[in-house]
Amino acid sequence: MKSEVQNKKWHALYVSSRAEKKIMDTLLAKGIEAYVPLVRTMRQWSDRKKMVELPLMNGYVFVHILPTENDRTLQTQGVVNFVRLERKIAIVRDVEIERLKQLVELGYHLEAMGLKRNYAEGDKVKITSGALKNVEGYVIKNEQGRFIDVLLESIGQSIRVKLPEEILLPA
């Protein structure tokens, strides 16, 4: 049993758009460990505003499975395919899933303030404090301030996080 747990790997699935939460629930009901990073955001309709949870990455669900569970996972309604790199099913490193979970739990979207270090677009930086300490990413600019992209290298995706420059160092 212990070796089975050690053989489990995280993988990313392409899924039907706007069905991420439902597909996650279906996978969980089948006994497949699934994760969708959800962020709370305010949505406005003509008659009201409401706080809703939306997927951080549209069209993706992450699963923690054994190789023998691939077919059962793909047979789930709404699952399109595994994310692949060089024709092989991409393995998402545990640390990358932990980064996603930290970003979601902490609700990072901080205003940049204080000391400016004049990082340029494309500069590689390392976060120096907080729960994301030692995570590396690349600086990008945006009309709303300065952001860092936290890379999920194994699937070629990144998450954009707004952080104060005083907790960044050149990497």
pLDDT digits (tens, 9 = 90+) for 81-111: 999 888 899 999 998 898 888 877 877 542 2
Torsion sign over Cα 81, 88, 155, 91? positive
Q: Which residues on adjacent β-strands are paired with residue 15?
A: 79
> Which CATH number does 2-92 carry?
3.30.70.940
Confidence (pLDDT) at 111: 25
Confidence (pLDDT) at 142: 56
> Which CATH number does 93-171 carry?
2.30.30.30
Return the SS3 of 123: coil
Return the SS3 of 30: coil
Cα–Cα distance for residue pair 9/50, rounded to 1 Å: 36
Contact between residue 11 and residue 91 where contact means Cβ atoms under 8 Å apart? yes
Domain residue spans in the chain? 2-92, 93-171
**Mean pLDDT score, 148-156:** 68
Average pLDDT, the chain: 80
Cα–Cα distance for residue pair 80/92, rounded to 1 Å: 18
Cα–Cα distance for residue pair 71/113, rounded to 1 Å: 49
How far is the CA of 93 from the CAs of 12, 51, 140, 150, 151, in angstroms? Answer: 11, 31, 24, 14, 12
Contact between residue 134 and residue 127 where contact means Cβ atoms under 8 Å apart? yes
Confidence (pLDDT) at 94: 93
The enclosing H or E element of 106 equals helix 94-106
Among the residue ranges 29-33, 39-43, 92-96, the one predicted with the least confidence is 39-43
**Mean pLDDT score, 132-161:** 68
pLDDT exceeds 90 at position 30: yes
Q: What share of the chain in percent tops pLDDT 90? A: 35
| Verdict on whether the full-model pTM lies above 0.75 | no
Confidence (pLDDT) at 113: 29
**Mean pLDDT score, 69-74:** 96
